[in-house]
Amino acid sequence: MDAVKETNFEFPSQTGFYRGKVRDVYYFGNKMVMVASDRISAFDFILPRPIPYKGQVLNQIAARNLKETTDIVPNWLEIIPDPNVSIGKKCQTIPIEMVIRGYLTGHSWREYRSGKRILCGVSMPEGMKEDDKFPEPIITPATKAEEGHDEDISREDIISKGIVEEKQYEMLEEYTRKLYQRGCEVANEQGLILVDTKYEFGLYEGEVNIIDEVHTPDSSRYFYKDDYAIRQKAGEPQKHLSKEFTRQWLISQGFQGLPGQEMPEMSDDKVEEISERYQELYVQFTGEPLKKENSKPINERIEENILNWIRNQE
């Protein structure tokens, strides 16, 4: 199956380029073209092989969710000219990831299991089991590193270090809680539980906008709602509809991104399995099958559609 590992386009009116863990970003003055590649990352490392259709799934779910949250906070997105491409406003990034957790799972569980009861300055109750629901969602921010690992940080440290002013941080917290509540409502309608997620914000002409993706399987974890209580009562692992299963596979292979650990090989079957899980989430989330455009090589299609957008700007 064709997949986008990376793009290396050179457009005539291009003013800059940035490659993130999973996105290639082309700048055109105050506009940015974000290409959702099929790269997949975990523990802040890019896995060796791209996952077919992953980029399209993320891009289209993000676009849907950005459209459905404009009543809460403005966002950067303006147009989707290709299944893997989003175009919109170039915002000044606020260097904090706003992570909100409704359930004790993933990173928070690993910290809790090690004996910690404070995460990013927020207390976690005693006596909880993996995947239990928190009494109230907790916000556990992280610094947004350009390279290497993002790191947990408390509200107090964010403000005291001058990373974000207190008034602006309070606004980010308010947006985060409202967005998470909306995400939970949408997920519930699709038979899912939005377990935790993260949001990134930026400034455009002085106004806070949400940037990047929203409620995708890369930025969020989902459980299936119908058997959550049954599995929890029985002490059985929850079925994740997110990339947490990829993290768990890496852990089972002895890799958590720590010094001296070697990234495991990915078989064709593993790549196909991960691709199918992403497509499954798309169907579960939208209620529609993923439309697969295979008429030409994917990188060629992406470049052509971006060029068409550029021509329309002239």
Can you give the pLDDT at residue 148? 52
pLDDT digits (tens, 9 = 90+) for 248-261: 899 999 999 899 99
Can you give the pLDDT at residue 145? 63
- The domain ranges of the chain are 95-246
Whose CA is closest to 195, among 123, 236, 244?
A: 244
Between the alpha carbon of residue 308 and those of residues 198, 301, 302, 312, the distances in Å are 33, 11, 10, 6
Band (149; pLDDT cuts 50, 70, 90): low
Mean pLDDT of 68-88: 96
Cβ atoms of residues 279 and 307 within 8 Å: no
pLDDT at 242 over 80: no
Give every CB contact of residue 229 below 8 A, 6+ residues apart in sequence: none
pLDDT digits (tens, 9 = 90+) for 193-232: 999 999 999 999 999 999 988 998 888 999 999 999 999 9
Distance separating alpha carbons of residues 174 and 214, to the nearest angstrom? 16
pLDDT digits (tens, 9 = 90+) for 288-313: 999 987 778 999 999 999 999 999 98
CATH number of 95-246: 3.30.470.20
Band (240; pLDDT cuts 50, 70, 90): confident
Q: What is the mean pLDDT of the chain?
A: 93
